[in-house]
Amino acid sequence: MTTAHAKTIFTSEPFIPSWAKVASIYAEMGNAWTLQFEVPEGQDVPTFQPGQFAMLYAFGIGEAAISHSGSAAPRESLRFTIRPTGATTCALTRLSVGDTVGIRGPFGRGWPLEQAQDRDLIIMAGGLGLAPIRPVLKNIQMARTSPRRTALIYGARQPEHILYRDEFDDWAASGVEVHQIVDRATGAWDGAVGLVTHLVPKVSLDFENMVAFLCGPEVMMRFSAIALEDAGLPAERIWLSMERNMKCAIGHCGHCQFGPAFVCKEGPVFRFDQIRTNLFCKEI
Amino acid sequence: MSGITDLLSVHPVLQGLAPAFLNHIAECAHQREIPAGTQILTEGDTASHFFLIRTGKVALQTSSPSTKVETFQTLGGSDFIGVSWLAPPYRLAFDAVAMTDVSAIMFDARCLRAKCENDHALGYALMQVFVPAIIERLKCARLKALDLYAVTNP
Ligand SMILES: Cc1cc2nc3c(=O)[nH]c(=O)nc-3n(C[C@H](O)[C@H](O)[C@H](O)COP(=O)(O)OP(=O)(O)OC[C@H]3O[C@@H](n4cnc5c(N)ncnc54)[C@H](O)[C@@H]3O)c2cc1C
């Protein structure tokens, strides 16, 4: 790649990656790494919307869709949390400070923050699904989005796997009602153990005037969406972030097709009532 | 008995149970204050009591040599523990430990079963109370068995 290509990270040339250098990399709990990138002088870093993703290219190995997990603060504009699941993500999590990757994006439709304005917001996240939610919480902290009240229900496998564990207190301090729940616990954990859906009745929000953002394993999102609906929240106010295997990220190749929609273009964030049929249809 | 009946009438688990039934089952019930750390139920014991939790938090636990004591569910103010009272062989499958001070209503299981046997309408009403909660716990157990948040390496 030549520097002639490296001007703006995706505007008019969506297939051509720009370069970014690893500024920091650190291990999170639960087998995940958070990487922060910086771009060479003269390159613009485009602003992303919470819920959007980028394509990160480990040179010679492959590209993977990774959600932006940073904030609107300049030094957090290229921050990602990655779990090694295959060749590309393994390579990305083994990078060192100063190493270079290719990057395209931001892509996709993020969280509909305007829907949360002046309404209550319930966020249900599981495991690594907290990564695309973090920008929403940072936005709330920075008063860029102002739901009336916000509650976060976060589920993890066990207490040792809670992602961003140092940030929960900050979110609580900014007014977010924080609930954590794990599947199993040993030792000193005195929090809740069970499914995320168990905490829905404990949330002190106004279900009549609320929106929900869900992100996590698909089965978890299905059960959570149904639990919210049963609690009185209409399906058209529930939003889910979907994942499908992705290649081009701009709606051309069809790899990420989800029924009639492409996750990269119409998603990854979808409205529950609009994807409901396909969500409950096997092997879509 | 009216004090216990009053407590039963406001407990979320028993919402919808007719007042006559509440009076009836109140005869098998006692109020219990349980200090934090108390082992309330023990795996393998006969299910001679079950508890409606009013306030406080209880951990359902099991143990193995590899994991030591593992909590697989916590229950609070709108829950019950000791569901094995309902069906033979009336044997408790897990330990229940008070995580905080717990205020509960304790039922004598034998007394309750006798009442259900003598009054099938009461038995049916109690089944309608407990079966949905048992189905919910079964769903929870199945989802957990899927290990949705597994973080294994490739
Ligand atoms: C919008 C979006 C946002 C995402 N955000 C993040 C994020 O923030 N962090 C993160 O870590 N990941 C994220 N992902 C997931 C990540 O993009 C995928 O896991 C990606 O496939 C990893 O690429 P890889 O080359 O490392 O692994 P792959 O080789 O793609 O393998 C990943 C997993 O898929 C399985 N697999 C591969 N091919 C097939 C197949 N043909 N059939 C069945 N199973 C298969 C593998 O066994 C492995 O378990 C996101 C995905 C999307 C769509």
Q: Which of B71, B78, B151 sits opposite A31 (nearest CB)?
A: B151
Q: What is the mean pLDDT of residues B31-60?
A: 97
- Residue range B127-150: average pLDDT? 91
B81 close to B51: Cβ distance less than 8 angstroms: yes
- Whether ipTM > 0.95 holds is no
Residues of A in contact with B143 (CB under 8 A): 195, 219-220, 223
Q: Which CATH number fits domain B2-148: 2.60.120.10, 3.50.50.60, 2.10.69.10, 3.40.50.1000?
A: 2.60.120.10
Q: Is A222 on the interface with B (CB under 8 A)?
A: no
Whether residue A6 is predicted with pLDDT greater than 80 in this model: the reply is no
Which of the two residues, A188 and B126, has the higher pLDDT score?
A: B126
Q: Is the CB of A104 inside a 6 Å radius of any atom of ligand 1? A: no
Q: What is the full DSSP assignment across A33-58?
A: EEEEEE--TT-B-----TT-EEEEEE
For B67, the closest chain A residue by CA position comes to: A186
Name the band, by pLDDT with cuts 50, 70 and 90, for residue A245: very high
Contact A90 B154 (CB under 8 A): yes
A29 CB within 8 Å of a chain B CB: no
Cβ A110 under 6 angstroms from ligand 1 = no
What pLDDT does residue A143 have?
Answer: 83
pLDDT, position B151: 74
User: Which is more confident, A231 or A75?
Assistant: A231
Residue A77 has pLDDT above 70, yes or no: yes
Q: How confident is the model at residue B8 (pLDDT cuts 50, 70, 90)?
A: very high
Residue A2, pLDDT > 60, answer no
In Å, how far is B86's CA from the nearest CA of chain A?
A: 23
- Give nearest CA residue, ligand 1 atom 9: A82
A94-151 pLDDT, tens digit per residue, is: 999 999 999 999 999 999 999 998 899 999 999 999 999 999 999 998 888 889 999 9
Q: From CA A160, how far away is CA A129, in angstroms rounded?
A: 16
Tokens of A251: 């709606």
pLDDT of residue A7 exceeding 70, the answer is: no
Beta pairing partners, A215: A125
Do A34 and A69 meet the contact criterion of CB atoms below 8 Å apart? yes
By three-state DSSP, how is residue A215 classified?
A: strand
Banded pLDDT at A1 (limits 50, 70, 90): very low
Percent of chain A, pLDDT > 70? Answer: 96
Buried b / exposed e over B39-49, threshold 16 CB at 10 Å, is ebbeeeeebbb
Q: CB contacts < 8 Å between A and B, how many?
A: 70
Residues of A in contact with B78 (CB under 8 A): 201
Above pLDDT 70, what percent of chain B? 97
Is the pLDDT at B118 greater than 80, yes or no?
A: yes
Q: Where are the domains of chain B?
A: 2-148
HSE on the CB side for B140, CA within 13 Å? Answer: 22
Contact state of B149 with A157 under an 8 Å Cβ cutoff: yes
Query: What integer is the mean pLDDT of B6-30?
Result: 95
Q: How confident is the prediction for chain B on average, in pLDDT?
A: 93
Burial (0-12, 13-18, 19+ Cβ within 10 Å), A15: exposed
* Mean pLDDT of the A70-95 span: 92
A61 Cα nearest atom in ligand 1: 25
Average pLDDT over residues A15-31: 92
Tell me the per-residue pLDDT of A32-68, one tens digit each, with 9 for 90 and over. 999 999 987 777 777 899 999 999 999 999 999 999 9
- Taking the Cβ of residue A201 and every Cβ of chain B, the question of whether any pair is shorter than 8 Å is answered with yes
Which residue in the set A186, A194, A219 is minimally distant from B148, CB to CB?
A219
Query: Are A194 and B146 a contacting pair at CB < 8 A?
Result: no
**Which residues are CB-neighbours of B90 under 8 A, at least 6 positions away?**
B46, B47, B48, B84, B109
Residue A246 CA, closest ligand 1 atom number: 53
- Give me the residue from A85, A155, A194 closest to B74, CB to CB: A194
Test B78 with A201 for CB contact under 8 angstroms: yes
Cβ–Cβ under 8 Å, residues B23 and B5: yes
| Domains along chain A with CATH numbers | 18-107 (2.40.30.10), 113-279 (3.40.50.80)
Confidence of residue A4 (pLDDT cuts 50, 70, 90): very low
In this prediction, residue A214 has a pLDDT band, given cuts at 50, 70 and 90, of very high
Q: Which residue has the higher pLDDT, A10 or B18?
A: B18
